[in-house]
A and B are shown apart, each in its own frame.
Chain A
Amino acid sequence: MSEKVKLYDATKCTACRGCQLACKQWNTLPARQTYNRGSYQNPPDLQPNTWMLIRFQEISNGNGGVKWIYRKDACMHCTDAACVKVCPSGALFYTKYGTVGLDEEKCIGCKECMFACPFEVPKYDRETDKIAKCDMCYSRVDNDMIPACVKACPTGALMFGDKDEMVKIAYSRVKELGGDANVYGDKFVSGTHMIYVLPEKPAVYDRLPEKPRVPLTIIAWKDWLKPLSLLAAGGVLVGSFFHYLIHGPKDTSGGDQANQGGGE
């Protein structure tokens, strides 16, 4: 199965928010009461019930005027995904399309992914004690349909297709645009599966990391220490075995629930 990429060309986005609504519709996400806080952007941030949103931002055009720039904020679907790395239950996983899926059944609400994600995408739902995020419409893609947001987009700002093709389109568009236009996403975390064409430098955008990466602590833990810990755990097992051989079984009549829910 080839890797799939959703391409968001911000230069063609009019912020009509058809995508934001289509996302809620396909994923049957409820609305929550909002208030106007002095912006069109609403809900103000990603939420357990809002997996994608258009961010509105006003910047100077350097000439006394203004630019109104938009960004579609949702899961970037990293190839080297910190969330998958830290997920202890296997709820977050790589799909056959290279995107990051979420199996809600398996989610134990530990929130590890929230702290790991460089894009602050996963959101914790207190009511369900689970994490929620965009799964790139896995249910649609796996049935030969394009993601709901892409389907809703009237201008062609959103495209969906094979990774190579999308990356190629992104670079040719950036070349055409010139100036500060850039491709965002293919060069870090081993490449994201949502890729942006941005008219402005990434640093200009709110809440957009310039050089997103899997946090070092996670790499340190998961890639270096975890194997060691497994070794250590193996040692414990071997020790236990010998302990059993020598001392016999433990009396469990007192009950032992200590490990339940204590995931970390």
Chain B
Amino acid sequence: MTNHWIDIQYSDCILIMGSNAAANHPISFKYVTKAMEKGAKLISVDPRFTQTSSKADIYAALRSGSDIAFLGGMIKYILDNNLIQEKYVKYYTNASFLVDTGFKMPGDNNGVFSGLKDGAYDKSTWKFQTDAQGVVKKDPSLKDPNCVFQLLKKHYSRYNLDLVSKITGTPQDDLLKVYKEYAKTGEVGKAGTIMYAMGWTQHTVGVQNIRTMAIIQLLLGNMGVAGGGVNALRGEANVQGSTDHALLFHILPGYLQTPTASLPTLAAYNEKNTPQTREPKSLNWWSNKPKYMASLIRAFYGMNATLEEAYGYLPKLDDGETYSWLDIFDEMYKGKFTGFFSWGQNPACSGASSNKTREAMTKLDWLVNVNIFDSETGNYWRGPGMDPTKIKTEVFSLPCSASIEKEGSISNSGRWMQWRYKAVNSPGDAIPDGDIITELFYRVRDLYEKEGGPLAEAINKMTWDYGSKGPDGKVRHLDAHAIAKEINGYFLEDKEINGKLYKKGELVPSFAFLQDDGSTSSGNWLYCNSYTEKGNMAARRGKKDESGIGLYPEWSWCWPVNRRIIYNGASVDPETGVPWDKEHPVIMWDGSKWVGDVPDGVAAPGAGRPPFIMKPHGVGSIYGPGLKEGPFPEHYEPLECPIEKNLMSPQYVNPVIKRFDIDGTDMDQRATCDPRFPFVCSTYRVSEHWQTGLMTRWCPWLAEMQPGMFVEMSVELAKLRGITNGEHVVVKSVRGEVDCVAIVTERFKPFNIDGQIVHQVGIPWHYGWVTTAMRKFVHGDKKPEVFTFGDAANLLTPFIGDANTMIPESKAFMVNVEKKGVK
């Protein structure tokens, strides 16, 4: 979230799209409801009429996978009716930037941007025009045909109501209702927010879905203001934290790029990855990247190696290769792995195309399953269709502590790092994950010391000062405070900064003090300021709020530097510094300084410093040449879809996705526009269960409320297939099948896609075949009262990911639904 949960209540219009927040983020509705009490409008856009839709002022149905068309139509509506927040667009976005004259757009180029070759773009024509000094050429009047604003207009002129309606299946009236209501937030002082979740990300065009909305938010002046922003509702309690700390392969902690093999030195890395700008007034905050990288390396290796040496130890990616979840299981399926740690996850159910995932694990020599409950992953070898006598994998199950059995922090969607305390001891042999990792680290290090091996220094020189040590010099129990302090960072030598001396061993006050010379460490520069000499900021529970807009600056801590609304420099008029929304100011100039939230990079009012300091040129990117598919989002059909062609252009699907179905294995089947699988299917969650249900299926009260796998379908589809409500059915895709109970509902309606009737169904993904019903109980065991039914929805999902992130597409694919026992 650029904003935070409490802030939703200050919105004038809340768009919930790609999310069923009422069911899946129930607490968010505390603030949605508050906003509505104050007169805010709620819009729900979803293929299915959900619990969220049931509370909405406006509901519009769209076919899964057509979000860019839907939102592209909104951009056209905003531009056609001149509803942009003009000053905001002129000063705070790159609307006025001139783009290379060789740049071509999909409307004139067969559905793709200029430069496409062999499934990837040469982006040379996507760049901005610059003058002799390298400064970007601009047309403040926004009239130049090559300026971003005019290109945007031209690109989305194709997204007319008629065509959008044909692609999305949304009636034109409904489109207009949504566009009209949301576009009202373009008025100065009004704020609109978007709440989205996996309904947007889990697509082959996931990042571009969000980009489209980001463009809308910039056009309407909704970034940086209270009640605005682009707000990702995270699907896990700590998914924000794990992303910040480099859960993903392409980034190191703090969103620093993972080194690649073509960048052998730290100097080369910095040269390549540190953005430059010639814009005289831009702060270009990422120009500090070398400081953050040096401090990160120091956090890893301390003074045990020079910065260059230690950079050499870091793993390097091969250029152009991806190392995502999909790649890992693809390689595993091909037999390229001998062992696998499945840590706090359940890939046998959570992985796209679960049959492939389960099959992939049969190729392993060993599997370590670290979890708090038994899982389909730990038991895959005796799962449906498996023959245990033919499976070689040795499986180790390590019980670990649950979140309430250990101390630490989680970072929520609003970027708050919140400290949590241990409440109870772990049962049985369970120990915290950190202690398991510590043990593993020492064992691996001992092996390297004894036997040597390639890049042994990468392990042997690593620091591990995470708690009190025993006589053998090894940490006995991981101390969460020691980790949190390392994440914040230390001065590693005495350092004078701005006339003040910081002593060796002191915690760094904030990332502005981090150095590129190796004199500071920081495990994650974004979190520098979270644990300082003043104490553990995340443990704060102050309830003071002088802001009047629910910032609560003394409650926990928020990255970056406790700034609760990022890009808040854009919440004021660029010339006068007066807040756009005087009732809900995020920051205000008191004559000598900014008061309110921690100001985001703004200089004195009228100084002309552009507020989007994380962008090299300081402005929001309406034109975003950084992504794989192009600078403007363009509608492409999902890999599997019900129509034969993309009505928008000759380019059927996203041209730059990694196509496992073409180059991949026998398990990577695709069935698009295939009469055997005529219905669109989407996966989703219910309030009562969590992820693959590992933490909830065992909880009798939750199992009682949602006892098993179901499929929701329209009355029309049920009639077509002769299915009655509550009947047992089978949902099949080309990759697998799953038994479900039919919920026949008015909440799904068939779509009219260019004259063709298209049905959509939906299934939850919380179930799995392991239940306690089948377990042998020893004397004294507490027997479970309630069981759940059904297997994983992901048995059906395709093995395909977003071009930028490789997040699997589980929201749009094709299935069939049959009565059980009928062929």
Most chain A beta-carbon contacts within 10 A, residue among B33, B702, B703, B745: B33
Chain A minimum-CB-distance residue to B725:
A38
Q: Which residues of A contact B27 (CB under 8 A)?
A: 154
Q: In the bound complex, what is the Cα–Cα distance between A132 and B789 (angstroms)?
A: 29
Q: Would B33 and A31 count as touching, CB distance under 8 A?
A: no
Q: In the complex, A38 Cα to B746 Cα: how many Å? A: 12
The answer to whether B704 touches A36, judged by C-beta atoms less than 8 angstroms apart, is: no
Asked if B710 contacts A36 (CB within 8 A), the reply is yes
Contact yes or no, A36 B30, CB < 8 A = no
Q: How far is the CB of B612 from chain A (nearest CB, A)?
A: 33
Residues of A within 8 A of B52 (CB): 14
B-side contacts of A69, CB under 8 Å: 54
| A66 to B747 CA separation, bound complex (whole angstroms) | 6
Within 8 A of A (CB), among B35-71: 49, 51-55, 59
Task: Report whether B744 and A43 are in contact in the complex, using a CB–CB cutoff of 8 Å.
Answer: no
Total residues of chain B contacting the partner, CB 8 A: 44
B29 touches A68 (CB 8 A): no
Question: For A30, A31, A69, which residue has the most chain B Cβ atoms within 10 angstroms?
Answer: A31
CB distance from B234 to the nearest CB of A (A): 17
A247 at the interface (CB under 8 A from B): no
Name the residue of chain A whose CB is nearest to the CB of B34.
Answer: A156
On chain B, the residues within 8 Å of A42 by CB distance are: 704-707
Q: Check B785–A33 contact: CB distance below 8 A.
A: yes
Q: What are the interface flags for B704-747 relative to A under an 8 Å C-beta threshold, 1 for contact and 0 otherwise? A: 11111110000000000000011100000000000001111111
Instruction: Return chain A residues, CB-CB under 8 Å to B742.
Output: 38
Q: Which residue of B lies closest to A70 (CB)?
A: B54
Verify A34–B745 contact, CB threshold 8 A: no
Residues in A whose Cβ lies below 8 Å from that of B686: 40
B746's nearest neighbour on chain A, judged by CB, is A66
Is the contact region of chain B dominated by helix, strand, or loop, or is it mixed?
Answer: mixed
In contact, A35 and B708 (Cβ under 8 angstroms): yes
Bound form: Cα–Cα A69–B706 in Å: 18
Q: Which residues of B in the span 639-663 have a Cβ within 8 Å of any Cβ on A?
A: none
Minimum Cβ distance to chain B for residue A200 (Å): 12
> Could you give, for residues 783-795 of chain B, a 1 whenever the CB lies within 8 Å of some chain A CB and a 0 otherwise?
0011101000000
A residues less than 8 Å from B727 (CB atoms):
38
A227 to B726, CA, bound (A): 52
Q: Which residue of B lies closest to A176 (CB)?
A: B37
Q: Are the C-beta atoms of A15 and B726 separated by less than 8 Å?
A: no
Does any Cβ of A come within 8 Å of B700's Cβ?
Answer: yes
Closest chain-A Cβ to B50's Cβ sits at a distance in Å of 8
Bits for A30-57, please: 1 = Cβ < 8 Å to B, else 0.
Answer: 1111111111101100000000000000
Contacts known (A30-B700, A67-B54, A155-B33); A16 close to B785, Cβ less than 8 A: no
Name the contact of A68 in the complex, choosing from B702, B710, B726, B747 (C-beta under 8 A).
B747
Q: B687: CB under 8 A from chain A?
A: yes
Collect the chain B residues with CB atoms within 8 Å of residue A15's CB.
22-23, 51, 54, 687
B26 interface contact, C-beta 8 A: yes
The minimal Cβ–Cβ distance linking B709 to chain A, given in whole angstroms, is: 8
Place the interface of chain A in its size category: 35 or more
Query: With A31-B786, A155-B33 given, is the CB distance from A40 to B26 under 8 Å?
Result: no
Closest to B787 in A: A33
Complex CA–CA separation, A21 to B23 (angstroms): 14
Q: Are B743 and A39 in contact (CB under 8 A)?
A: yes
161-206 of chain A: CB within 8 A of chain B: none
Q: Are B701 and A24 in contact (CB under 8 A)?
A: yes
Q: CB within 8 A of A33: which of B33, B59, B786?
A: B786
Separation in Å of the B363 CB from the closest CB of chain A? 36
The residue that B26 contacts in the complex, of A24, A35, A154, A156, with Cβ under 8 A, is A154
> Would you call B29 and A154 a contact (CB within 8 A)?
yes
B688 contacts A by Cβ under 8 Å: yes
Instruction: State the CA gap A14–B31 with chains docked (Å).
Output: 13
Please name all residues of chain B whose beta carbon is closer than 8 Å to the beta carbon of A60 when the two chains form the complex. 746
A240 interface contact, C-beta 8 A? no
A20, B705: Cβ atoms closer than 8 Å: yes
- The one of B22, B49, B51, B704 in contact with A31, judged by C-beta atoms closer than 8 angstroms, is B704
Q: In the bound complex, do residue B786 and residue A34 qualify as a contact, i.e. CB atoms below 8 Å apart?
A: yes
Asked if A31 and B703 make an inter-chain contact with CB atoms under 8 angstroms apart, the answer reads: yes
CA distance A155 to B22 in the complex (A): 10
Restricting to B646-688, which residues have a CB under 8 Å from any CB of A?
A: 686-688
| Selected contact of A17 from candidates B53, B688, B741, B745, CB within 8 Å | B688
Partner of B700 from the list A31, A39, A155 (CB cut-off 8 Å) is A31
Shortest distance in angstroms between A192's beta carbon and chain B's nearest beta carbon? 24
Instruction: Report if A222 contacts B (CB, 8 A).
Output: no
Contact A38 B741 (CB under 8 A): yes
Report the Cα distance A20→B706, complex, angstroms: 12
- Contacts of B702 on A, CB cut-off 8 Å? 21
A139 in the interface (beta carbon within 8 A):
no
How many angstroms between the C-alpha atoms of A114 and B65 in the bound complex? 51
Question: Contacts A36-B741, A154-B29: A30 and B785 contacting too (C-beta < 8 A)?
Answer: yes
How many Å lie between the Cα of A157 and that of B54 in the bound state?
Answer: 14
CB pair A40 B706 closer than 8 Å: yes
CA distance A38 to B715 in the complex (A): 12
Chain A residues, Cβ within 8 Å of B703: 31, 34
Q: How far in angstroms is the closest Cβ of chain A from B175? A: 15
Distance between Cα atoms of A37 and B743 in the complex (Å): 8
Whether A90 is near chain B, meaning CB under 8 Å from some CB there, is no
Closest to B699 in A: A31
Q: How far is the CA of A58 from the CA of B747 in the complex (A)?
A: 8
CB within 8 Å of B: which A3-37 residues: 12, 14-18, 20-21, 24-25, 30-37
Which residue of chain B has the shortest Cβ distance to A30 in the bound complex?
B785
**In the complex, how many angstroms separate the beta carbon of A42 from the nearest chain B beta carbon?**
5
Q: What residue of chain B has the Cβ atom nearest to residue A18's Cβ?
A: B26
Name the one of A20, A25, A31, A68 contacting B54, with C-beta atoms under 8 angstroms: A68
Assess whether B51 is in contact with A156, with CB atoms less than 8 Å apart.
no
Over the window 73-111 of chain A, the binary record of Cβ atoms lying under 8 Å from chain B Cβ atoms (1 yes, 0 no) is: 000000000000000000000000000000000000000
User: Which listed residue, A16, A17, A36, A155, touches B726 by the CB 8 Å rule?
Assistant: A36
Cβ–Cβ < 8 Å partners of A67 in chain B: 54
Given A14-B22, A16-B687, A34 contacting B704 (CB threshold 8 A): yes
CB pair A154–B30 under 8 Å, yes or no, is yes
Contact A14 B30, beta carbon cutoff 8 Å: no
B743 to A, closest residue via Cβ: A38
CB pair A32–B786 under 8 Å, yes or no, is yes
Question: Which B736-783 residues have C-beta < 8 A from chain A?
Answer: 741-747
B33 touches A12 (CB 8 A): yes
Residue pair B33, A68 in contact (C-beta under 8 Å): no
- Closest Cβ of chain A to B8, distance in Å, is 12
Find out whether the CB atom of B23 lies under 8 angstroms from the CB atom of A14.
Answer: yes
Residue in A21, A35, A65, A157 whose CB lies within 8 Å of B705: A21
A16 vs chain B, min Cβ distance (A) = 4
Say yes or no: A68 contacts B785, CB within 8 Å. Answer: no
Question: What is the bound-complex CA distance between A190 and B49, given in angstroms?
Answer: 39
Q: Provide the bound-state CA to CA distance between A155 and B746, in Å.
A: 26
> A43 to B30, alpha carbons, bound, how many Å?
26
**Docked CA distance A58–B26 (Å):** 20
Question: B707: which of A14, A25, A33, A154 is its contact (CB, 8 Å)?
Answer: A33
- List chain B residues, Cβ under 8 A from A68: 49, 51, 53-54, 747
**Alpha-carbon separation in the docked complex, A17 to B706 (Å):** 11
Separation of A36 and B728 alpha carbons in the complex (Å):
10
Residue interface bits A201-239, CB-to-B below 8 A is 1, else 0? 000000000000000000000000000000000000000
Binding site for A on B (CB under 8 A): 22-23, 26-27, 29-30, 32-34, 49, 51-55, 59, 686-688, 700-710, 725-727, 741-747, 785-787, 789
The 10 closest A-B pairs by CB, nearest first: A38-B726, A31-B700, A38-B725, A16-B26, A31-B704, A14-B22, A68-B54, A66-B746, A36-B741, A155-B33
Q: A38-B725, A70-B54 are in contact. List 12 more A-B contacts (CB 8 A).
A: A14-B22, A15-B22, A31-B786, A33-B707, A33-B785, A34-B704, A36-B707, A39-B726, A40-B743, A58-B746, A66-B49, A156-B30
18 contacts between A and B (CB under 8 A): A12-B33, A17-B688, A18-B26, A30-B785, A32-B785, A33-B707, A34-B705, A36-B710, A37-B726, A38-B743, A39-B725, A39-B726, A40-B686, A42-B707, A65-B49, A70-B54, A155-B26, A155-B33
